[in-house]
Structure 1
Amino acid sequence: MKSIPHIDMSLYDADFEAFANLVGEGYESNGFVALTQHGVDQQLIDEALDTCRELFALPEQVKKQYHIPGGGGARGYTPFGTEIAKDAKHVDLKEFWHVGREIEGEAPYPQLTPNVWPQELPSFKDKILQLYRSLDALGLRVLEALAVYLQQPRDYFNDKVNLGNSILRPLHYPPIIDEGTPSVRAGAHEDINVLTLLVGSREPGLEVLAKDGSWIPVTIIEGAIICNVGDMLQRLTNGVLPSTTHRVVNPPAPYSAKSRYSIPFFLHFNPDVMIEPLASCISDDNPKRWEAITADDYLMERLREIGLVK
C-alpha cells in the first residue's frame, strides 16, 4: 500500500452498486479510504477550522472553565496532556473540545448530554453544528454502501446510528518545543467507534500502519475527507473490515514549530445497539471472534483504557 484508496462520492448517485463495492473493498484491504466529491462544502470546512484556531487561542484559564471534571471528556474542553493511547507510556501532545448531538427536548438516552459552548466565541456553535450535521449525513451514505457490501438491507444502519452519541472533536496539536520529547501528537491507536471522518489537517503527520508493518504517510488531497473503520464496525463485521492502527507523528522542522489543527467526526451506534458479528461475516475460515456487547458498554470499557474515564 503506497497510499489509501480514493473514492469518488458522486458514484453514490450515479452507480450505487459500484460505489458499494469500491467502499467495501477499500475498507477490507486498508480500513482507510479518502472520499472525494463528498458534497461537504469546502467553505464550511475552512470556516470550521478557522473558528477552531480562535477557540484554542483563548487563554488557558478561559478554556478550563469549560472542562467538566469527571465527565470523561464527553462534552466541552479537555486540556493538553490528558489522553493517552491504549498501552502507551506517554500522554498525547494535544488538547481538544467535544461536541455531541444536539437534542431538542428530552434526550432519548442519558449519554446524550447537553453541549458546552464557549461564550467568548459565538461563531463556534453555528459553524461546528453545521459541520456536525454534514459529516453525520456523509457517514450514513458510507454506511449504506457498507450495508449492501455486507449483504444487509441498504438501510440496515439507519436506525442504529440516528441517535448515536457521535462526537465532533476539534483538535489542536501545539508547536513542539522540546524536540527530544518521548511523547507524540497522537500515539499509535485504533478508533473505538463505527466510522471516523477527518477534515483538515493542512499539516503533515497522520500515518497508517500497513499490513507489512510499514507506516504510510497519509497525504490529504485538497478537498478530500479521510474516512476509516473503527473498532465497533470491526467487531460487527467479525474482523472483515479492519480497524487500522494509525498515529500522528511529530513532524520535522519547520512543521514542528507550527500548530496542527484537525476535526475528526467519530460516528457512534445508538447506545443500546447490540454489537454482535453479522452472520454474513462468519465462516469456517473466519469463525466468530467476539461475543455480543452493547455499544455503550463497549465504549465505557475503552474510555477507561485511554484514561478519559477513571
Structure 2
Amino acid sequence: MHLPVVDYRSPDAAAQFCQSLHETGFGVLKNHPLDQSMVEGIYAEWLAFFQSEAKHRYPHDADKHDGYFSPAVSETAKNHAKKDIKEFFHIYPWGRYPSEVSDAAQRYYAQASGLAQQLLGWVEEYSPAEVKARYSMPLPAMIEGCQETLLRVLHYPPLHGDEEPGALRAAAHGDINLLTILPAATEPGLQVLGKDNAWHDVPCDFGLLIINIGDMLAEASGNYYPSTVHRVLNPTGEAAKKSRISLPLFLHPRREVVLSERYTVGQYFNERMEELRGKKY
C-alpha cells in the first residue's frame, strides 16, 4: 500500500490528494498553509498542561463531552475491550478552555477548519458524477455554521511496563466524522490497515498534514471515499519513555444535514453513540 505525499502547492494537488483518499482513505500533504510554528507551540504548552495538576480542574462533561478525559475514562475502540492508553482534552467553540495555556489551539481550530472546508471542496470536485449526485448539498456547505467540529488535544504518556496486556495507545478504529485533519504528531506510531489486510506506517515527518476519511463521508459517497481503519502502536525501547502529542480536528456536519437515503447526520451520530454507549466516554 502506497501513501503518496502530495505537495499542496502543486497544480494537480487536488487530483492527487483525492485519488489517494479514494484508494486508501488517507491523504498526506506537504507545504500546506497551516502554521507549523503554531502547531509546535501547541504541542509544547499542552504537554506541560498534561504533566500538571491543572488538567483536573476541567473534568469532562458527560453530556457535552468537552473538557479533560483522564486515562480512566479514555476511549475503548469499537469491538475492543481495553481502554486506549491516552488522555485528552476536547475543544469546541462553545466549550471550556484552560486558562493555563495560550489561545493558540483556538486559533489553530479556526485555521484548520478553513483548510478543511477547502479540502472538502476538492473531494466534491473530484467525485465522479454518480457519486456527486448522492450528496444532498455541496460538501463544504455541510459544515457551515456547525458547532460540533471537535479539536482533540491528545497525550499518549510514556509507557512504564505495567500497562494492561494487549492495550494500545489507540486500538484499531475508524472515525465517525467527515474528515479528520491531523498534523504529524511528536512521535511516530500511526498505521493504516490496507486492502491487503496488512498494517502500513503513515508518513509522519514533522510538518506533514495527514487527512483521513470518516464514516460519514463514506456513507455520503456510497463508500467511494472509504473510511479506513487505523491505530497508534505502542513504542518500544527508548521511544517508549517519550510522550506523544497529537492534534486531530474531527470535521462534523450539522446534525440536520442528510447524509444518505438512510441517515441524517444526527441519526447516524446517535446510532454510533448508542453502539459505543458506556464504552467511548
Is this a same-fold pair by TM over 0.5? yes
What corresponds to 2:80 in structure 1? 88
Residue of structure 2 equivalent to 1:295: 265
Q: 1:270 to 1:308 in 2, by over 3 A?
A: farther
Q: Give distance in 2, aligned partners of 1:198 and 1:20.
A: 18
Q: Secondary structure at the match of 1:274?
A: coil
Aligned to 1:163: 145
Write out per-residue CA displacement over residues 162-213 of structure 1, whole angstroms, 9 at most, x where no aligned residue.
1231101000011111266321000000000000011231212111101111
| Aligned counterpart in structure 1 of residue 113 of structure 2, from 132, 136, 143 | 136
Q: For 1:229-253, what per-residue CA distance to the aligned partner results, in whole angstroms no more than 9, with x for missing partners?
A: 0000000010111100000011111
Q: What are structure 2's unaligned runs of at least 5 residues?
A: none
Aligned to 2:126: 149
Matches within 5 A, 1:150-299: 150=127, 151=129, 152=132, 156-164=138-146, 165-178=148-161, 181-276=165-260, 291-299=261-269
Following superposition, the deviation at residue 118 of structure 1 comes to 1.7
Q: Which amino acid letter does the alignment assign opposite residue 219 of structure 2?
A: R
Q: Is the 8 A contact 1:190 1:246 kept in 2?
A: yes
C-alpha distance in 2 between matches for 1:56 and 1:70: 20
Q: 1:8-157 maps to which residues of 2 (within 5 A)?
A: 8-11=7-10, 15=11, 18-59=12-53, 62-71=54-63, 74-82=65-73, 83-100=75-92, 102=93, 114-119=94-99, 121-123=100-102, 126-150=103-127, 151=129, 152=132, 156-157=138-139
Shift of residue 158, structure 1, vs aligned partner: 2.6
Mapped to 2, the partners of 1:309 and 1:207 lie a distance apart of: 21
Match of 1:110 in 2: none
Give 2:188's aligned amino acid. P
**Structure 1 224/206 Cα, relative in aligned 2: closer, same or farther at 3 Å?**
same
- SS of 1:198 mapped into structure 2: strand
Identity of counterpart residues, as a percentage?
32
Deviation at 1:138, TM superposition (A): 1.2
- What is the alpha-carbon distance in structure 2 between the residues aligned to residue 51 and residue 222 of structure 1? 17
Question: CA deviation digits over 1:216-266, x for unaligned, max 9?
Answer: 012312311000000000000101111000000111111111111101010
Task: Decide whether the 8 Å contact of 1:71 with 1:309 is kept in 2.
Answer: no
Contact 1:27–1:229, Cα closer than 8 Å, also in 2: yes
Deviation of 1:308 (Å): 5.8
| TM-score scaled by length of structure 2 | 0.90
Distance in 2, matches of 1:21 and 1:88, equals 36
Give the whole-Å Cα distance in 1 for the aligned partners of 2:266 and 2:183: 26
Q: Which runs of 5+ in 1 are unaligned?
A: 103-113, 277-290
CA distance in 1, matches of 2:112, 2:161: 35
Give 1:309 shift: 6.4
Query: Secondary structure of 1:145's partner?
Result: helix
Normalised TM-score (structure 1):
0.82
Distance 1:23 1:200, change over 3 A: closer
RMSD: 2.1
2:122 aligned partner, one-letter code: A
SS in 2 for 1:169: strand
Would you say how many aligned residue pairs link Structure 1 and Structure 2? 272
